[in-house]
């Protein structure tokens, strides 16, 4: 791997690149899924190749090749230089200075998920599938997954870092229907479960089989539940929905490439401006958000990002005040602060982009019961179902799988089709309680999209249940 | 190696009943922002997925290592997966050899575009904007798809595609346009920019409106995306079998305005033609809605077997990474109407909204076809039958069946709207739609002004 990267860098610099980096990536994904008592999917995918990024005359170029050969490496480098030379624009790009780094990093694990026999994974899924059986349940689904990514990065500045990142994950879902009402329920999260950078011990800890009956009972109850009413009220969100809220309304707006407009043609921009740093009130004083790629188990954890910048926690919102952005070396140079540290690429055949790593809402005090106890009337919502937010990340509308009314500090009747909507800084300004560290956990998402061509990133959010005042719930068409 | 050679080599590496799906991609995408190229990406890749069947047990493995060792390892992993699986008595077997139609969709000139030419066409989009900052891309690709199996099935298709997309945006306004075709020569990047900048100029000083239900004209960009999201749950067989489709219990019933006819037609030479699906089954045109009556959904072999009735595959098996969705319509096509222009649709609406493009859609209630999202890059008021002042971006929460139940008209011209966001392996597809005027489009919130 090292020889290939070095050959690519030599070819790029000989072709006129003032900067170049080369990444060899070997990736393997495995998925086992069942549906209604039968194996739906067993897939085992591997992908390998080299990606070469260059700066020529101040312009970026990127090319890649699946062949892990000297010929493939050199050709990718030369094609990247050709593309950079042909690129339109004024080209005044520069990178924040970075001392060359060498190092290695590996996800700490107890049991390699690829050492677990597929038959064991099928057995676990089928047992969890059976546990989901229940009245009105039409569809039962389970899945477990594993991923290993081994990558080596060399840069023309002398950085050389090698990393092996291992993920494990799983989840169960069921759908119930009755009298034209269709409802779903999931554990531990919707949208392909939840994952961690971890060994198989994470999946075992999820206890998918034991959770099955509760999930099925709630799905069946939801098709009989009342619809969430329309109201301006107090909302308590479970950690899963808080994680989604952090992701969409904080994580993406603080990506500095979006702030500078480079995602305008697809994912969108940001309501934040560069000079908002240190002055913009993002939320209440209880709002403390940290980007931390060193979090053990986080899907966004690494030793070095894909520019070779060492992992380090960055506070981005402190006591409600915006204090940090997620940056690359290029955007850090442009804003004149930091050295980057948030660049990741989706495999060998995509260019690194500014991505969330692990973005946490720091815990407060108490637990869910404490948050509910202070609410005379409100709604408690659990597990994300739908999400939509505008291109500047201001106007959002999210829905959850299940909700309960809160009356006199206690949960009341179950509600279905719960949605809430708001404007980002106003919503976070209404944050009036976050549960404590004992209720705080990591939620891992594997479907964060960005870039053209599209890239899917894996990110985690640490979150605990949180309470928000004056929220519009029950959006009607 | 081309895709046919890759598929055959993978099949030979397997022992016994098996199917190989090979995809070979050579693509370039010159992405620009603030009128500068910032993410230029050239991709060369070849991927093969092997499905091994062993007494009704199936296992799937994928690789891009195409040497003998890589393919032997691929076969070993697929066989290991199959051996681990219990037999599946609903497995319909691998597809038999078929006779796919001859289709267009490959253009030698487009296949030959290199990085210099791709960058030049991106530059043409940028230069046409004058001083107005533009954000977007030009891309072109040649994608080779081949399927071979132990049943004797062997099909392959070489496809080209090209797109130019432009968001013209400054602090005060933004506009959007795109063109997609399988012939790059049919794409005019400068014209795309002119359409986007002209739209952007008209969005300055955007005003707010009260949320409520409005009449609305949707340009093809907006209509295509709304229909695409509706199709995920409602127009595929899996959604029907799992009762999350709006068509559940409604096939044969009038569900939309009689002006609405929707087909899935991958054979249309004006779209992005496909000859077969990812099981190798020949593509069929499927009439999904005829004059407002729900007629059908699309099927693959798996769902047809699960239906336990007379259902047969219509040639809509998705790529492996999308299998969880079941068969999907990858070539939606709405029959045009007779309105000469969008201005004529505005005349039919009289008082309402004019919407260019939607953003970040989410399915709120699949069974009811309720979708939420934002308008973006060109939202206007319609007053007295004319497209009038610009509006801020609007949040909508729309039941697609309600939107299509009272349709004032559709334009006589359709546009092909790109639907791929270039995740994973390149597989060009899009939606062919006219602009539409409807009596019901529910606005449920206000967003920010257009602009960067």
> A329 and A220 share a domain?
no
The CATH number of whichever domain residue A174 belongs to comes to 3.30.2290.10
The answer on A346 and A299 residing in a single domain is yes
Q: Interface pTM (ipTM) of the complex? A: 0.95
Q: Are residues A173 and A244 in the same domain?
A: no
Phi, psi (degrees; rounded to nearest 5) at A255: -75, 115
Report the candidate in A76, A366, A96 with the shortest Cα–Cα distance to residue B42.
A76
Last residue of a domain, one of A182, A206, A224: A224
How far apart CA A294 and CA A359 sit, in angstroms, is 11
Instruction: Verify that A231 and A358 share a domain, yes or no.
Output: yes
Q: Which helix (H) or strand (E) holds A14?
A: helix A2-14
Instruction: Note the pTM of the prediction, 2 decimals.
Output: 0.96
What are the pLDDT digits (tens) for A160-172?
Answer: 999 999 999 999 9
Give the model confidence (pLDDT) of B408-438 as tens digits: 999 999 999 999 989 999 999 999 999 999 9
How far is the C-alpha of A130 from the C-alpha of A212, rounded, in Å?
8
A193 with A286, same domain?
no
Q: Which residue in B118, B424, B34 sits closest to A257, CA to CA?
A: B34
**Are both A68 and A216 inside the same structural domain?**
yes
Q: Mean per-residue pLDDT for B320-339?
A: 94
On the question of pLDDT at B324 being above 90, the answer is: no
Inform me whether the pLDDT recorded for B279 exceeds 80.
Answer: yes
B84/A42 touch (CB, cutoff 8 Å), yes or no: yes
Task: Report, as an integer, the average pLDDT of A336-341.
Answer: 88
Chain B residues with beta carbon closer than 8 angstroms to that of A87 = 30, 36-37, 40, 119, 122
B353-393, pLDDT tens digit by residue? 999 999 999 999 999 999 999 999 999 999 999 999 999 99
Q: What is the mean pLDDT of residues A203-232?
A: 97
Please report which confidence band the pLDDT of residue A89 belongs to, taking 50, 70 and 90 as the band edges: low
Structure confidence at residue A88 (pLDDT):
62
* Phi, psi angles (nearest 5°) of residue B185: -65, -20
In angstroms, the CA A68 to CA A76 distance is: 11
Q: Which of residues 101-130 of A touch B (CB under 8 A)?
A: 117-119, 122, 126
Identify the band that residue A475 occupies on the pLDDT scale cut at 50, 70 and 90. Answer: confident
Q: Which among B81, B86, B126 is the nearest to A88, CB-wise?
A: B126
pLDDT band with cut points at 50, 70 and 90 for residue B15: confident
- Please, what is the end-to-end C-alpha distance for chain A in angstroms? 56
Do residues A64 and A22 lie in contact, with contact meaning Cβ atoms separated by under 8 Å?
no
Residue matched to tokens 């050239």: B42
Tokens standing for residue A5: 């990267």
With beta carbons less than 8 A apart as the criterion, state whether A222 and A402 touch. yes
Is pLDDT at A476 greater than 80 in this prediction? no
**Same-domain check for residues A117 and A257:** no
| β-sheet bridge partners, residue B226 | none
Domain extent for A429: 227-473
Closest to B226 (Cα-Cα) out of B92, B371, B108: B371
How far is Cα B204 from Cα B244, in angstroms, rounded to an integer? 41
CA angle A93, A97, A98 (to 5 degrees): 125
Q: Evaluate whether B177 touches B40 at the Cβ level (below 8 Å).
A: no
Rounded Cα gap, residues A171 and A363, in angstroms: 25
Over residues A184-201, the pLDDT tens digits come to 999 999 988 999 999 999
Q: Give the C-alpha separation, A238 to A435, whole Å.
A: 10
Q: What is the mean pLDDT of chain A?
A: 96
| Chain A residues touching B448 at Cβ < 8 A | 271, 390, 392, 394-395
How near does any CA of chain A get to the CA of B101, in Å?
30
Residue A91 predicted with pLDDT over 80? no
Residues A186, A37 share a domain: yes
Residue B316 pLDDT > 90, yes or no? yes
Q: Supply the pLDDT for residue B320.
A: 84
DSSP-H helix ranges across A224-278: 239-246, 256-259
Dihedral angle of Cα A192, A193, A199, A204, to the nearest 10 degrees: -130
What was the pLDDT predicted at A162?
98
Both tokens of residue A32? 């086992």
Residues of A with Cβ-Cβ distance to B28 under 8 angstroms: 83
Q: CA-CA distance, A247 to A451, in Å (whole number)?
A: 17
- Tens-digit pLDDT profile for residues B40-59: 999 999 999 999 999 999 99
Give the count of Cβ contacts less than 8 A between chain A and B: 273
Rounded CA separation B417/B224 (Å) = 7
A403 shares a domain with A416 = yes
Is B116 in contact with A59 (Cβ distance < 8 A)?
Answer: no
Radius of gyration over every alpha carbon of chain B, rounded to an integer in angstroms = 23
Say if B86 is an interface residue toward chain A (CB within 8 Å).
Answer: yes
Name the domain boundary from A195, A224, A253.
Answer: A224
**Cα–chain center distance at A383:** 16
Whether pLDDT at A443 is above 70? yes
- What distance, in Å, lies between the first and last C-alpha atoms of chain B? 44
- Taking an 8 Å cut-off on Cβ atoms, the answer to whether A264 and B33 are in contact is yes
DSSP string, A294-347: T-TT-TT--SB-TT-PBP--EEEEETTEE---B--HHHHHHHT-S----EE-SS
Do the chains contact at A388 and B38, CB–CB below 8 Å? no
Each residue of B177-194: pLDDT tens digit? 999 999 999 999 999 999
Band of residue B103 on the pLDDT scale cut at 50, 70, 90: very high
Q: What pLDDT does residue B97 have? A: 97
Q: In chain B, what are the domains?
A: 3-202 (3.30.2290.10), 212-446 (no CATH)
Distance, in Å, from the CA atom of A471 to the CA atom of A379, rounded to the nearest integer, reads 10
* pLDDT confidence band for B321 (50 / 70 / 90): confident
Tell me, yes or no, if B54 comes closer than 8 A to chain A by beta carbon: no
A377 and A268 both lie in a single domain: yes
Residue B170's CB is within 10 A of a number of other CB atoms, namely 17
Optimal mutation site among A53, A90, A191, A264, interface B, most CBs of chain B within 10 A = A264
> In A66-113, where do the E strands start and end?
102-106
Q: Are the C-beta atoms of residues A218 and A383 closer than 8 Å to each other?
A: no
Domain boundary among A224, A245, A271: A224
User: Which pLDDT value is given to residue B309?
Assistant: 86
Per residue in A98-110, pLDDT tens?
999 999 999 999 9
Residues of chain B contacting A421 with CB distance shorter than 8 Å:
395, 444-445
Convert the pLDDT of each residue in B65-75 to its tens digit. Answer: 999 999 999 99
If asked whether residues A394 and A266 sit together in one domain, one would say yes
A366-382 mean pLDDT: 98
Checking if the pLDDT of A307 tops 70, the result is yes
Interface of B with A in 420-439 (CB under 8 A): 421-424
Q: Which residues of A touch B366 (CB under 8 A)?
A: 182
For the segment A414-433, the average pLDDT, to the nearest whole number, is 97
Which residue in chain B has the smallest CA separation from A174? B242
Residue A180's closest chain B neighbor by CA? B367
Q: Please state the domain count of chain A.
A: 2
Average model confidence (pLDDT) across chain B: 96
A73 & A108 share domain: yes
Measured distance CA(B326)–CA(B312) in Å, rounded:
14
């Amino acid at each position: 791997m090292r020889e290939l990267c070095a050959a690519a860098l030599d070819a790029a610099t000989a072709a006129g690149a003032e900067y170049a980096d080369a990444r060899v990536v070997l990736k393997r994904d495995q998925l086992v899924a069942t549906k209604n008592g039968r194996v739906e999917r067993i897939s085992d995918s591997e992908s390998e190749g080299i990606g070469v990024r260059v700066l020529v005359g101040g312009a970026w170029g990127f090319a890649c090749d699946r062949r892990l050969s000297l010929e493939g490496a050199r050709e990718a480098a030369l094609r990247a230089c050709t593309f950079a030379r042909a690129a339109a624009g004024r080209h005044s790009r520069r990178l924040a200075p970075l001392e060359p780094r060498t190092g290695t990093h590996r996800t700490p694990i107890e049991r390699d998920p690829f050492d677990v026999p597929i038959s064991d994974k099928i057995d676990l899924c089928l047992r969890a599938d059976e546990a989901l059986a229940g009245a009105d349940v039409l569809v039962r689904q389970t899945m477990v997954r594993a991923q290993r990514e081994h990558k080596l990065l060399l840069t023309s500045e002398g950085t050389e870092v090698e990393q092996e990142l291992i993920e494990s994950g799983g989840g169960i879902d069921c759908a119930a229907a009755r009298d034209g009402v269709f409802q779903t329920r999931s554990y531990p999260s919707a949208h392909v479960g939840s994952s961690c950078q971890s060994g198989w011990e994470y999946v075992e800890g999820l206890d998918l089989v034991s959770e099955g009956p509760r999930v099925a009972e709630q799905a069946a109850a939801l098709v009989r539940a009342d619809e969430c009413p329309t109201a301006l009220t107090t909302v308590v969100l479970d950690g899963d929905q808080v994680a989604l809220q952090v992701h969409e309304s904080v994580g993406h707006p603080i990506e500095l490439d979006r702030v500078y407009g480079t995602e305008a043609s697809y994912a969108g921009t940001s309501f934040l401006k560069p000079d908002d740093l240190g002055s913009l009130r993002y939320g209440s004083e209880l709002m403390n958000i940290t980007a931390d790629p060193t979090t053990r188990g986080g899907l966004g954890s690494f030793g070095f990002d894909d520019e070779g910048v060492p992992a380090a926690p960055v506070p981005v919102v402190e006591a409600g005040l915006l204090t940090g952005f997620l940056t690359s070396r290029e955007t850090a140079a442009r804003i004149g602060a930091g050295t980057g540290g948030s660049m990741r690429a989706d495999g060998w055949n995509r260019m690194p982009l500014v991505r969330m790593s692990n973005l946490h809402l720091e815990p407060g005090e108490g637990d869910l019961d404490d948050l509910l106890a202070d609410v005379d009337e409100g709604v408690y919502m659990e597990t994300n179902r739908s999400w939509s937010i505008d291109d500047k990340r201001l106007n959002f509308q999210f829905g959850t799988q299940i909700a309960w009314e809160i009356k006199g500090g206690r949960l009341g009747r179950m509600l279905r089709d719960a949605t809430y909507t708001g404007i980002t800084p106003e919503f976070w300004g209404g944050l009036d309680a976050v549960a404590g560290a004992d209720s705080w956990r990591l939620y891992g998402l594997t479907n964060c999209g960005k870039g053209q061509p599209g890239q899917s990133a894996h990110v985690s959010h640490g979150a605990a249940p949180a309470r928000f005042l004056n929220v519009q719930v029950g959006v009607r068409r | 190696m081309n895709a046919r050679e890759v598929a055959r080599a993978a099949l030979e590496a397997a022992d016994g009943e098996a199917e190989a799906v090979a995809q070979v991609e050579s693509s370039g995408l010159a992405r620009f922002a603030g009128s500068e190229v910032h993410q230029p990406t050239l991709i060369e890749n070849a991927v093969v997925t092997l499905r091994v069947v062993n007494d009704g047990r199936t296992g799937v493995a994928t690789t891009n290592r195409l040497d003998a060792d890589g393919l032997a390892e691929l076969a070993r992993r697929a066989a290991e997966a199959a051996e681990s699986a219990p037999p599946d008595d609903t497995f319909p077997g691998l597809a038999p050899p078929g006779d796919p139609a001859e289709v267009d969709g490959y253009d030698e000139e487009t296949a030959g575009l290199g990085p210099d030419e791709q960058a030049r066409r991106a530059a043409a989009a940028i230069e046409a904007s004058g001083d107005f900052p533009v954000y977007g891309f030009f891309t072109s690709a040649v994608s080779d798809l081949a399927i071979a199996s132990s049943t004797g099935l062997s099909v392959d298709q070489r496809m080209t595609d090209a797109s130019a997309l432009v968001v013209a945006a400054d602090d005060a306004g933004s506009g959007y346009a795109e063109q997609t075709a399988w012939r790059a020569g049919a794409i005019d990047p400068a014209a795309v920019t002119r359409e986007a900048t002209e739209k952007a100029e008209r969005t300055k000083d955007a005003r707010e409106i009260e949320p409520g239900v409005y009449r609305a004209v949707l340009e093809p960009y907006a209509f295509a995306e709304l229909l695409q999201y509706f199709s995920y749950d409602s127009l595929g067989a899996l959604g029907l079998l799992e009762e999350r489709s709006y068509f559940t219990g409604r096939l044969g019933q009038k569900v939309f305005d009689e002006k609405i006819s929707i087909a899935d037609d991958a054979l249309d030479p004006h779209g992005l033609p496909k000859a077969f699906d990812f099981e190798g089954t020949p593509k069929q045109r499927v009439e999904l809605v005829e004059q407002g009556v729900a007629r059908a959904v699309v099927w693959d072999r798996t769902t047809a077997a699960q239906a336990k009735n007379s259902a047969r595959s219509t040639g809509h098996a998705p790529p492996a990474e999308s299998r969880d969705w079941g068969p999907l319509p990858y070539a939606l096509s709405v029959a045009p109407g007779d309105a000469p222009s969008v201005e004529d649709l505005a005349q039919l609406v009289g008082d309402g909204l004019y919407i260019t493009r939607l953003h970040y859609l989410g399915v709120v209630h699949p069974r009811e076809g309720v979708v939420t999202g934002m308008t973006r890059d060109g939202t206007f008021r319609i007053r007295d039958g004319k497209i009038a002042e610009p509006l801020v971006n609007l949040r909508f929460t729309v039941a697609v069946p309600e939107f299509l139940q009272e349709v004032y008209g559709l334009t006589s011209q359709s546009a092909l709207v790109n639907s791929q966001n270039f995740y994973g392996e390149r597989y060009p597809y899009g939606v062919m739609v006219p602009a539409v005027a409807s009596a019901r489009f529910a606005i449920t919130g206000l967003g920010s002004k257009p602009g960067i």
